[in-house]
Chain A
Amino acid sequence: MRSRFAVIALLPLLGGCQTAFQVATYNGANPITPAMVTNVRLAYDAIEPLAIAYIQLPLCSAKHPVACSQASVSGQIKAANPVARAALRRLDTFVRTNPTVNAVSLFNEAVADINIVKAYVPAAASVPVPAPAV
């Protein structure tokens, strides 16, 4: 398990190396690199299990005042999840099929939709989500 932690911990570093390489070979047409798409997918795939864990907590009540979930929040997470996933897949498909076309708007849409899910999940507060592109 420690080795898995080490691999996950190194992902941001490796992503940075890949980004640097791609910047060096990049033709300048699309500011959204495949590495950026990978990072945004990694962020959401780190948030999602935490969202599942939140929903699975006991409902908040006098008996469970802490470490509990609110049904309304769980409902918001379930509603926001397919929206975020769809945005990620649109971004991924677009960048792979149109590598030289500007994908900033799709990237920012995916980041915004991921941040909506993240905002509902207290344990995901420390998950780093890429900043919107400009």
Chain B
Amino acid sequence: MLAAILAGIKIASQVAALGIQVAPYLVKLYDYYSQPGGPTDAQLAELTAMEDEMDARLQAAQPADQ
């Protein structure tokens, strides 16, 4: 369990260092799935839209200038 916590801190640190605002998304994801009955349709649509945005960023990503 300690290893998982340390891994979580390391991941969050790396993501924060990249300047990518993914942490609020992860918190929302967890909150929505933790509530009784899981996410509502509206919440699921919100999460899906955020994931779609991240997927689009990945597909559009290009190497930095040489």
Contacts and interface: CB of A to CB of B under 8 A. Distances in A.
Interface string A46-74: 10111111011111010110000101001
Interface residue SS majority, chain A: helix
Interface size class of A (residues with CB under 8 A): 35 or more
A71 B62 CA distance: 9
B26 to A, nearest CB: 6
Interface residue SS majority, chain B: helix
Contacts of B62: 55-56
B64 A9 contact: no
A50 B7 contact: no
A96 B38 contact: yes
Nearest to A58: B64
Contacts of B55: 48, 81-82, 85
